[in-house]
């Protein structure tokens, strides 16, 4: 992720400046997003994948035939380790739980973590980048040194330590990403703010009597929000992958079914040695698709905001 961030920082100086005085923020937002998905078919594919999983998560109780932790019994006997059939499309676990139902309900945990972390990373990184880039001086120095500290903290071990001091919870991933991954967003947005604050419409706002906070959040912020959406889309994939990793290592909430929980459960039950690929492949495929979707959308934003990246 770091090399890609460096490329974006190199291209930021030549990025197109979206001036809020030329069009409303809503029109600017719609135009930018339309351009992203018209220009890049992979970004459109990523959007379709995310929309699909969002719909699955919303209608999970309708789609799933059983509860995610429901033990299926017949005449008092657990229907454990059932192979895929018409009744159980993906078979059952060693505890008699329907794997397909767990896969469907797991989308809720994945997307909840993904979108929560994306919003937190985008908001924190955007605010820090705006303040550091606009004020400069000692404010910029302190905030960027904090970003350097965040770069030096290993991400996954930090979550494990956080889980050791707190109860296992999917929100540990959101907290960890909020505390660490804002660093990438803030640096790129800071470099863009250094360019935007020298534009004529910012000088005009300053001359007209607007205070610093109004200039930052009413004039400059709308111009760099596409960058925030870019890093938000990348954070969706990273947070889902991180949650799966933490769940697989056993540091997640055992009462919340996620795709990582399913993989950890399959591993602990030695599903691979029994050839139960129907238990392992589906959650792994879902994780891969959602991470790819976030990357595809992010790449689409990069090529629209920074045309030079198409040549890098």
298 is a domain residue: yes
Residue 197 maps to which CATH number? 1.10.3720.10
Q: What 3-state DSSP class applies to 242?
A: helix
4 is a domain residue: no
15 is a domain residue: no
285 is a domain residue: yes
Helices (H) and strands (E) in the chain, counts: 14, 2
Beta-strand ranges (E) seen in 95-186 are none
Cα 202 to Cα 108: distance, rounded to the nearest angstrom:
42
Q: What 3-state DSSP class applies to 245?
A: helix
Q: What 3-state DSSP class applies to 255?
A: coil
4-37: b (≥16 Cβ within 10 Å) or e = bbeebbebbeebeebbbeeeeeeebbeebbebbb
52 is a domain residue: yes
Domain count within the chain: 1
Return the structure tokens found at 133.
């880039």
Q: What 3-state DSSP class applies to 53?
A: helix
Contact by Cβ (8 Å): 92, 80: yes
Q: Tens of pLDDT along the chain (312 residues)?
A: 445 555 545 544 444 444 434 445 556 556 666 666 677 778 888 889 999 999 999 999 999 888 888 888 887 778 888 888 888 888 888 888 899 999 999 999 888 888 888 888 889 989 999 999 888 889 889 999 998 888 888 887 887 787 777 777 778 778 888 888 888 888 888 888 888 888 888 888 888 887 888 888 888 887 787 778 778 888 888 888 888 888 888 777 777 888 888 888 888 888 888 888 888 899 999 999 998 888 888 777 666 665 554 544
10 is a domain residue: no
Domain hosting residue 156, numbered range: 26-311
In this structure, how many other beta carbons lie within 10 angstroms of the beta carbon of residue 181? 26
Residue 137, phi-psi category: left (phi > 0), alpha (psi -120 to 50), beta (remainder): left
132 is a domain residue: yes
Cα 77 to Cα 70: distance, rounded to the nearest angstrom:
14
- How far CA 141 is from CA of 66, 127, 133, 202, 265, in Å, comes to 55, 15, 10, 23, 46
11 is a domain residue: no
Q: ∠ CA 13-19-21 to the nearest 5 degrees?
A: 160
Cα-only R_g, the chain: 22
């Amino acid at each position: 992720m770091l090399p890609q961030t460096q490329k974006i920082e190199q291209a930021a100086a030549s990025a197109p400046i979206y001036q809020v005085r030329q069009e409303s923020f809503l029109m600017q937002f719609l135009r930018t997003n339309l351009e992203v998905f018209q220009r890049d078919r992979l970004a459109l594919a990523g959007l379709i994948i995310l929309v699909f999983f969002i719909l699955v998560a919303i209608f999970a109780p309708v789609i799933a035939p059983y509860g995610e932790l429901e033990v299926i019994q017949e005449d008092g006997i657990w229907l454990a380790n059932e192979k895929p059939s018409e009744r159980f499309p993906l078979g059952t676990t060693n505890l008699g739980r329907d794997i397909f139902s767990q896969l469907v309900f797991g989308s809720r945990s994945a997307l909840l973590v993904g979108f929560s972390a994306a919003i937190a990373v985008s908001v924190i990184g955007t605010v820090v980048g705006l303040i550091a880039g606009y004020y400069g001086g000692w404010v910029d120095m302190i905030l960027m040194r904090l970003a350097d500290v965040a770069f030096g903290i290993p991400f996954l071990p930090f979550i494990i330590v956080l889980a050791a001091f707190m109860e296992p919870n999917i929100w540990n991933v959101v907290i960890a990403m909020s505390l660490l991954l804002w660093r990438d967003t803030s640096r790129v947005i800071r470099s863009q703010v250094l360019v935007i604050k020298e534009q004529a419409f910012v000088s005009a706002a300053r001359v007209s009597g607007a205070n610093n906070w109004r200039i930052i959040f009413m004039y400059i912020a709308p111009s760099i929000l596409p960058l925030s959406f870019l890093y938000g889309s990348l954070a969706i994939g990273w947070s889902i992958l991180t949650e799966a990793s933490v769940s697989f290592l056993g540091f997640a909430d055992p009462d919340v079914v996620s795709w990582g929980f399913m993989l950890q459960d399959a591993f602990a039950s030695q599903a691979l040695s029994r050839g139960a690929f129907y238990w392992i492949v589906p959650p792994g495929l879902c994780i891969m698709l959602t991470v790819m979707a976030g990357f595809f959308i992010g790449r689409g934003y990069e090529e629209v905001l920074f045309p030079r990246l198409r040549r890098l």
